[in-house]
Amino acid sequence: MTASADTNAGLFSRIKLRRSAEFRLDIQCRFPQRGTTAIHGPSGCGKTTLLYCLAGLLAGDGDTCIRFGGQTWQDRRVFVAPHQRNIGFAFQDARLFPHLSVAGNLAYARRRARNSSGPSQGQVGDWLQLQDLLTRYPHQLSRGQQQRVAIGRALLSSPDILFLDEPLANLDLSSRREIMTHLQRLQGETDIPILYVSHNLEEVAKLADWLLVMEDGSILAEGPLQQLSAELSLAVAQEEQAAAILSAEFDALEPEYGLTRLSLEGQPLYIPGLKASAASVALRLRIPARDVSLCLSAPQDSSILNILAVTVEEIEAGGASRLLLKLRLGEQFLLARLTRKSVVKLGLQVGSRAYAQIKSVALLE
């Protein structure tokens, strides 16, 4: 699932950059060579600046060192210009060439592709559904369509790594969903590593394998998404949309109820709809912390279908009215957001056994 196995290749970066008296980027990390790495953090934390440095659109200060594969992109003596780095970059504001049609924009990238191994225009057009747009000009496209073309254009330059800078920001919900589906398709079709900058946890949960959390120009945490999403200390867990990411296996269909039964650490979990799949495929689930409540004994007369036996692993410290709890479920973790009053009333402590009632589960793939 993650690319932690081959950390000696891929993209290494040590970037120092002072942009103003208040903001300074100071980062050292090695990005996974495969899959999608999400760079998450509040706006202004330096996510985009980091991508710009990696792309060569900004030059880091003297100590900066960026290496990709066997090449050095920047160190004390070397600075490789952006057009000589084999990257694809989809900007937040699309940046399509206004004097070229969609087909012209795509051809612009294809003509300058550094190698012929990348996807063809037909493939990219198919993945992102661009065929009907080819003769139009950028100003005739909706924002969502522009963004799709921009991603397609970046792919057609046959990049070795793809940078996506908040490609779904500024889009309405339906375009967001639509492009997200296209991006998931893309992930299945190509093995180009993707760096995905986003401040939206839902996107991150859907698309990323590896997570890099940034704050004030530095890295707060990095690791597999599932692990980090349950870290109570991280801002990721503190946000209102905090959710645990878990993986489960397909178990059986219950067609008479229109449900699919999954097996999550040996316990049954139902999701709506009939989604048959091979038992060996890990299905990724997202369970929001606010949709989880706890009982000390197994409820017999609850309408809630999904009730899982858990052990309290960690309780958020502090005197806030609502607390976040990390719940162990075999090798994985759930998050629950409860009122402090409930935690006290039930006498919940680290090690307590309890039953988690889950109101909603979203299947991410």
Partner 1 sequence: MNSVAAIWLTIELASITTLILLLAGTPLAWWLARGGGALRSSIEALVAMPLILPPSVLGFYLLLAFAPQSALGSLWQHVTGTRLAFSFSALVIGSVIYSLPFVVQPLQAAFRQLPEGLLEAAATLGAGPTDRWLSVVLPCCGHSFLAAASLGFAHTVGEFGVVLMIGGNIPGETQVLSIALYDHVEALEYGLAHRLAAGLMAFSFVTLLLLYRRGNRGLGRLSA
Site residues, partner 1 (CB under 8 A): 55-57, 81-84, 86-89, 91, 93, 95, 97-99, 108-109, 112-114, 139-140, 153-154, 157
Dist. CA 244–CA 260, nearest whole Å: 20
By beta-carbon proximity to partner 1, the closer residue of 88 and 217 is 88
Dist. CA 238–CA 215, nearest whole Å: 14
CB of 162 to partner 1, least distance (A): 10
CB of 147 to partner 1, least distance (A): 13
Judged by DSSP in three states, 255 sits in coil
CB of 220 to partner 1, least distance (A): 28
- Shortest CA distance to 18 belongs to which of 215, 217, 212, 197? 217
CB of 3 to partner 1, least distance (A): 23
CB of 62 to partner 1, least distance (A): 22
158-164-168 Cα angle (round to 5): 130
CB of 64 to partner 1, least distance (A): 19
By beta-carbon proximity to partner 1, the closer residue of 97 and 257 is 97
By beta-carbon proximity to partner 1, the closer residue of 109 and 324 is 109
What's 209's DSSP letter? Answer: S
By beta-carbon proximity to partner 1, the closer residue of 154 and 356 is 154
Supply φ then ψ for residue 105, to 5 degrees. -60, -45
CB of 53 to partner 1, least distance (A): 13
By beta-carbon proximity to partner 1, the closer residue of 144 and 288 is 144
Question: Which tokens is 69 given?
Answer: 């594969």
The strand pair at 282-288 and 362-363 is best described as antiparallel
By beta-carbon proximity to partner 1, the closer residue of 33 and 158 is 158
Strand order from edge to edge, sheet including 24-31: 24-31, 11-18, 65-68, 71-74
By beta-carbon proximity to partner 1, the closer residue of 161 and 307 is 161
By beta-carbon proximity to partner 1, the closer residue of 104 and 268 is 104
37-221-154 Cα angle (round to 5): 20
232, 211 contact by CB (below 8 A):
no
How many residues can be counted in the chain? 365
Judged by DSSP in three states, 228 sits in helix
Dist. CA 26–CA 97, nearest whole Å: 33
Judged by DSSP in three states, 223 sits in strand
By beta-carbon proximity to partner 1, the closer residue of 58 and 244 is 58
CB of 240 to partner 1, least distance (A): 32
Determine the distance from the C-alpha atom of residue 202 to the mean position of all C-alpha atoms in its chain, rounded to a whole number.
Answer: 8
Dist. CA 350–CA 12, nearest whole Å: 39
CB of 57 to partner 1, least distance (A): 5
